[in-house]
Amino acid sequence: MAPTRLIIDTDPGVDDAVAIMLALASPELDVLALTTVVGNVELEKTTLNARRLLSLARRSDVLVGRGCADPIGGVSGTAAEVHGQDGLGDLSWPEPTVKESDEDAIEMIYRLAKEAPLTLVAIGPLTNLATLLQRHPDVVEHIERVVIMGGASFEGNVTPAAEFNIWVDPEAAAIVFAGDWKLDIMPLDLTHQAYLTDDDLAFLRDLNSEVGDRLAAMLEPYAKFHEEWVGNRDLIMHDAMAIYEVIDPTAIKKSGVKADVETSGIHSRGATWFSRSFHHAESPTRVGVKVHNPTFVQLLRERLATFPSKN
């Protein structure tokens, strides 16, 4: 079977970095571009980080398209306390060899979608996807499926109601949820089942590869943040769940839903509402509900081990 043509819309982000490396190392996927959006840090930084990650992986064949600098709904905030001031754990990086394209992210996605069927994976706020739908409504005819990381059925991680990617731009999420396309949503209830531990950090270091070293180094402060926040060093692999879903569509159990987003409310702005009533069992919108972490971690380890070693 031909690999799935894929664009990753992203705000790197430490867990974005793992997801991107997993995608680049997976023969089931043909990663055409990283399109960047404001989110974990400002757009300037997420775009630089996309270039850094592709340079690290020596993948100058993958395009970088700069997307939206501001949420549709106005100013929200970043997650630099989780991902570092630079978004990738504040390491020092060489000047990236991979350049940014002149083409803007929205036009890039639209052009590549019209060339052949395309899968869109969004692992940051949904501003670019919403702008794409507004600017080019016919794009839905060319998109095979959309898989996003975002939302929560039960509890958010920025506020009790809202998960970060949705909280940044609830208006954009509402537009994307209402889009006439096949949509799979990987919410916190699922992504918290997928995590790495200190054993996996040791595994990454032992790979003796540039990719392994860098990922281990940027995951270290991510573990520290989690320890201070909730008392354990679990490295939650939020964004990798969206990539895992495309690599193996049977791995994550999903449920048909009606999905909506709160765009107002005193405490509820950015809350996602997933109705899992039997009426929606066959809905084109589904949420991920269950994943087997050991199987995921084994696949991730195998794939990351394919990056070349240092000597």
- How far apart are alpha carbons 220 and 27 in whole angstroms? 28
SS3 308: coil
CB of 124 to ligand BDR, least distance (A): 6
User: Which one of residues 45, 66, 142, 238 is an interface residue with ligand BDR (CB under 6 A)?
Assistant: 238
Can you say whether residue 89 is alpha, beta or left, with left for phi > 0 and alpha for psi between -120 and 50 degrees? left
157 or 193: whose CB is closer to ligand BDR? 157
- Quickly tell me which residue has 């890039």 as its tokens: 108
Residue ranges that bind Ca ion, judged by CB under 5 A? 13, 16, 123-124, 239
- How far apart are alpha carbons 8 and 54 in whole angstroms? 12
238 or 286: whose CB is closer to ligand BDR? 238
Can you say whether residue 251 is alpha, beta or left, with left for phi > 0 and alpha for psi between -120 and 50 degrees? alpha
**Cα angle 170-42-8, degrees, rounded to a multiple of 5:** 70
Based on the number of CB atoms within 10 Å of its own CB, is 156 exposed (0-12), middle (13-18) or buried (19 or more)? buried
CB of 184 to ligand BDR, least distance (A): 15
- How far apart are alpha carbons 70 and 94 in whole angstroms? 28
Asked if 9 touches ligand BDR (CB under 6 A), the answer is no
Contact (CB, 8 A) for 33 and 163 = no
64 or 240: whose CB is closer to ligand BDR? 240
Peptide bond preceding 13 in cis form (omega within 30 of 0): yes
User: Which one of residues 239, 244, 269, 296 is an interface residue with ligand BDR (CB under 6 A)?
Assistant: 239
User: Which one of residues 5, 8, 16, 161 is an interface residue with ligand BDR (CB under 6 A)?
Assistant: 16
Site string for ligand BDR, 140-179 (x = CB under 6 A): ---------x-------x-----xxx--------------
CB of 125 to Ca ion, least distance (A): 8
Strands 272-275 and 258-261, sheet pairing: antiparallel
Catalytic residue among 83, 142, 226, 238: 238
CB of 195 to ligand BDR, least distance (A): 13
CB of 156 to ligand BDR, least distance (A): 8
Segment 96 to 135, residues that bind ligand BDR, using CB under 6 A? 123-124
Strands 258-261 and 253-256, sheet pairing: unpaired
* Among ligand BDR, Ca ion, none, residue 79 binds (CB under 5-8 Å by kind): ligand BDR
Active site residue 238: yes
SS3 119: strand
CB of 125 to ligand BDR, least distance (A): 9
Segment 249 to 308, residues that bind ligand BDR, using CB under 6 A? none
82 or 139: whose CB is closer to ligand BDR? 82
Segment 45 to 104, residues that bind ligand BDR, using CB under 6 A? 79, 82
Q: How many CB atoms lie within 10 A of CB 1?
A: 4
Which helix (DSSP H) or strand (DSSP E) does residue 35 occupy? strand 29-36
140 or 221: whose CB is closer to ligand BDR? 221
SS3 8: strand
Active site residue ranges = 238
- Residue ranges in contact with ligand BDR by CB under 6 A: 13, 15-16, 40, 79, 82, 123-124, 149, 157, 163-165, 238-239
